[in-house]
Structure 1
Amino acid sequence: MKIVIANDHAATDLKFEIKEYIESLGHEVINIGTDSHDSCNYPEYGAKAARMVAAGSSDLGVLICGTGVGISLAANKVKGIRCGVCSDTATARLIRAHNNANMIAFGARIVGSELAKDIVKSFLETEFEGGRHQVRIDMISAIENEE
């Protein structure tokens, strides 16, 4: 799979660890940065990554900022994106299985690198269950299309 990864300055170090980890799992990683610790604006990176996923140039996305919340809010403004903030592996599995999330976010100030790796692995290895969950995804898409 092709995985886009994006972050702000608070998550640069963790991003590099996660990028390497995803590659070790056999996936291609598209790093759209930032690669710096200089202050930057997470909405730019979250939106850019989300546009790549929405356009199909990346299969899934991983977003990291201080808490995971800000960058996920930006990503979720892009039509077709379902991004959830996860601080544990159960949530990472369930947002894929039940919500067909195509992006995940977490906070570099919230989770350590080993937990972050477990979260990403859970997210990437879980498939959408469909069935009754598809009805709810369709409802979310209908809301999105009202705007």
Structure 2
Amino acid sequence: MKIALMNEFSQAAKNPIVLEQLNTVASDLDHSVFNVGMDGDNDHRLTYIHLGIIAGLLLNSKAVDFVVAGCGTGQGALMSLNAYPGVACGYCIDPADAYLFAQINNGNALALPFAKGFGWGAELNVRYIFEKAFTGAKGQGYPPERKESQVTNAGILNSIKDATTKPFLDGMKAIDPELVKHAVSGERFQSCFFENGQDADIEAFVKSVLAA
């Protein structure tokens, strides 16, 4: 699995802490981690609005399989990521949230609070969240006897989102191009996207934005 981690400006200083824990878990599972957001306060400045754009591009192009995002409360990142088709983001405070989201909703992104409640032992909580999010089979249902209805409902929700939103590229083209350009200007994002993306049309769109 390819996993992207992204921090925005208010919590950029937490990136090394979160990245270390994610790498610890991912390495044991043979997953790859791409640190595509801010890695410190002086890095390419991103807001949670930019995180949604980046996540939408990475997931819809299949450059990555899963996104870990967040902000101070996690709520802004959650809303921003879920604005895009092809992104199913859950809100995660503790390991139980990560486990239940993986089993019931089986989405492809998590939004974490990196300020609210991020105190003593926060790095342990983050590590255990990642363990529950990425270890074992997903979509098994909880409790197991409810798997069939949960899988059905998750599929219905995805189909409703597809029906009520524009096609991904149509939506991206309707956004302020300067906002998109700023989001995709980071070197680490570009490396992950262009080296791993599998959609020629989305790649062409990003190239056109960068060239403008």
- Provide the TM-score with structure 1 as the length reference: 0.89
1:93 matched residue in structure 2:
99
Structure having the higher helix fraction is 2
For the residue of structure 2 that corresponds to 1:36, the secondary structure is: coil
Per-residue CA distance 1:27-64 (angstroms, 9 max, x = gap): 21111112232664211123202321232211111002
1:116 matched residue in structure 2:
126
Conserved 8 A contact 1:65-1:106:
yes
Conserved 8 A contact 2:15-2:40:
no
Q: Could you tell me which amino acid in structure 2 is paired with residue 128 of structure 1?
A: G
Unaligned runs of 5+ in 2: 141-146, 165-212
Q: Does 1:71 align with 2:90?
A: no
CA RMSD of aligned residues (A): 1.8
Q: Distance in 2 between matches of 1:40 and 1:56?
A: 22
Unaligned runs of 5+ in 1: none
Q: Distance in 2 between matches of 1:50 and 1:5?
A: 13
1:141 matched residue in structure 2:
158
Q: Could you tell me which amino acid in structure 1 is paired with residue 152 of structure 2?
A: V
Select which of 110, 114, 117 maps to 1:104: 110
Deviation (angstroms), 1:8: 0.8
Deviation (angstroms), 1:83: 0.6
Structure possessing the higher radius of gyration over alpha carbons: 2
Q: Could you tell me which amino acid in structure 1 is paired with residue 162 of structure 2?
A: N
1:35 matched residue in structure 2:
39
Q: Distance in 2 between matches of 1:50 and 1:96?
A: 19
Q: Higher mean Cα deviation, 135-144 or 48-57?
A: 48-57
Q: Distance in 1 between matches of 2:56 and 2:11?
A: 17
- Provide the TM-score with structure 2 as the length reference: 0.64
Structure having the higher strand fraction is 1
